[in-house]
Amino acid sequence: MTGSTTRSVSIVLFDGFELLDVFGPVELLSRLPDSVDVLMLGPQEGPVRSSQGTEVVATASHRDAPEPDIVMVPGGMGTRSLACDERFLTWLREWASTATIVTSVCTGSALLAAAGLLDGYRATSNKLAFEWVAGHGTDVEWAPSARWVHDRDRWTSSGVAAGMDMTGALLTYLFGREEAERAAREIELGLHTDPDRDPFAVAHGLE
């Protein structure tokens, strides 16, 4: 799938999100400024504190979020409480259901699953937290060994740094391999292009 239309990526921030889950993908996305707009959404406008303590400024709140094109949900320790927060999950389900593409990094897939957004889909997550994540959702085919999974309009990645590989694959899907490779080359990143290459599944006894 390629095209020249500018795509909007709405990133769902929350207290305790994982920094690299967000800024690994954002670094790649920012290399295509004429093709991608990034919007940071928070529980409210203003600073949102990450798991690492660094605060990031959200320019719009969840409540006032515009209709999404591409949704990205990061992981982080904050997912543990949000996965059982019905108010948040209801908002996420209703808002993200109109998106053309819904993505997650790391344990962000637990939030998608808990909101019912992965039912009927194949998905993956952080291998260190895989058992916890796989306890969410009612009809999710969890892939214990995958760097990332692309199933129709859903993209989910393994832990933290794997989000950059997924984003590289997403850029290839949207804009072509040449653009994705250029973005990776500019930041001196060696992208893994095989979604089934997952040494961390072995390391954590999932394969």
The catalytic residue positions are 106
Nearest by Cα to 7 from 188, 198, 174: 174
Length of the chain as a residue count: 207
Q: Taking the CA of residue 137 as centre, how many other CA atoms within 13 Å lie in the half-sphere pointing to its CB? A: 25
Evaluate whether 144 touches 201 at the Cβ level (below 8 Å).
yes
Q: What φ, ψ does residue 63 adopt, rounded to 5°?
A: -65, -35
**Which conformational region is residue 201 in: left (phi greater than 0), alpha (psi within -120 to 50 degrees), or beta?**
alpha
Q: What distances in angstroms separate CA 68 from CA 41, 55, 62, 147, one per listed residue?
A: 11, 23, 11, 25
How far is the C-alpha of 135 from the C-alpha of 170, rounded, in Å?
A: 26
